[in-house]
Amino acid sequence: MNSAPRVLAVLDDLLTAAAHDDRGALWQLAERGRELDANLVRLPPGAEVGEHQEDVLDVLLVVVAGSGRVAAGDGELDLTPTTVVWLPRTSRRALAAGPDGLAYVTVHRRRPGLTIKSSVAPPAGYEGGEAPCMLDRVCPGCGRLSQDPEPVFCSRCGERFAGH
């Protein structure tokens, strides 16, 4: 692992390069050995991420462009650039983009990948994988494995799962 600080992305450049209707994760933290996950997510105007709950991780959401709202608990929180929202684990929430769309960064502790244990040592560099029977729980937009056994929307990028 390289422990030297470095620039990984320039968010304005990523947002400028994206097509007007691009939706989902435009960038993901992918460095090996990291302890965090981070994503730049974009929702086009009027798009929504349906109500969902993250049972394991607290998530920090930082708005970088556009506007929208988070429906959480009994109320709604307005989202504008530079707004920072804490989404505590076990909280239910839904996101909606405003008329100019919504772009935000999420940051949370890295969730370890699911693996199938074996008595044989894995090859060097192998980081595990998901069982084939869980493929219907992998988001078609960003690749995140949903903890929900019958997901409708991805809690990371808002993509609708097949069959819904």
* Residue 4: strand pairing partners: none
In CATH, what number does 11-112 get? Answer: 2.60.120.10
The pLDDT value recorded for residue 120 is 55
Question: Reduced to 3 states, what is the DSSP secondary structure of residue 23?
Answer: coil
Q: Which of 107, 115, 109, 113 is nearest to 156 (CA)?
A: 107
Going by pLDDT thresholds of 50, 70 and 90, the confidence category of residue 150 is: confident
Report d(CA 26, CA 17) in Å as an integer.
10
Listed by start position, the domains of the chain span 11-112
pTM summary value: 0.67
Poorest-confidence range of 4-8, 29-33, 160-164?
A: 160-164
- CA 121 to chain centroid, in Å, comes to 31
